[in-house]
Amino acid sequence: MLAGGGVIAAAVIAVPAVGYAGFALAGIGAAASFPLALSLAGKQGKRADGSGGEREIAFVGTVGYTGFVAAPPVIGLIAQHSSLAVSFGLVGVVALVIAPLARGFGVARKERPIRQRVRETRSIL
């Protein structure tokens, strides 16, 4: 939420000091998002015996790095057809929407008792 607010402030208010402060807030707000996403993905994939989570971490890493490579050209394309303020405004809106969506998808699952997880694992095998 902090990242989205910072980018939107930098895009909407055309004062250089506000732009610097907005992008600083965006950096502070987004700094922990990728490591946190990897951590949550690893926890989601854990099995009852404590192993697992590798596929989930690989998936989140692939999506993250794809966004890292694809986002700058998309931002530039939007800026070329409209303006840089519009493209950064859209980035801010996306950043603001991510947190409620992640919470809505139930990123942190409710832990089941260990006995129930062991039974589920045995029934799969």
HEC per residue, the chain: CHHHHHHHHHHHCCCHHHHHHHHHHHHHHHCCHHHHHHHHHHHHCECCCCCECHHHHHHHHHHHHHHHHHHHHHHHHHHHHCCHHHHHHHHHHHHHHHHHHHHHCCCCCCCCCHHHHHHHHHHHC
pLDDT recorded at residue 52: 82
pLDDT 10s digits, 20-51: 999 999 999 888 888 888 888 888 888 878 78
Provide mean pLDDT across the span 7-17. 92
Which pLDDT value is given to residue 98? Answer: 83
Instruction: For residue 18, give both structure tokens.
Output: 């506000």
* Rounded alpha-carbon distances, angstroms, from residue 117 to 56, 111, 122: 18, 9, 9
Q: Are the CB atoms for 89 and 75 separated by under 8 Å? A: no
pLDDT at 36: 84
Per-residue confidence (pLDDT) for residue 34, from 0 to 100: 85
Q: Single out the residue of 31, 11, 28 nearest to residue 19, CA to CA.
A: 11
Convert the pLDDT of each residue in 57-102 to its tens digit: 999 899 999 999 999 999 999 999 999 999 999 999 998 988 777 7
The token pair that represents 86 in the structure block:
């519009």
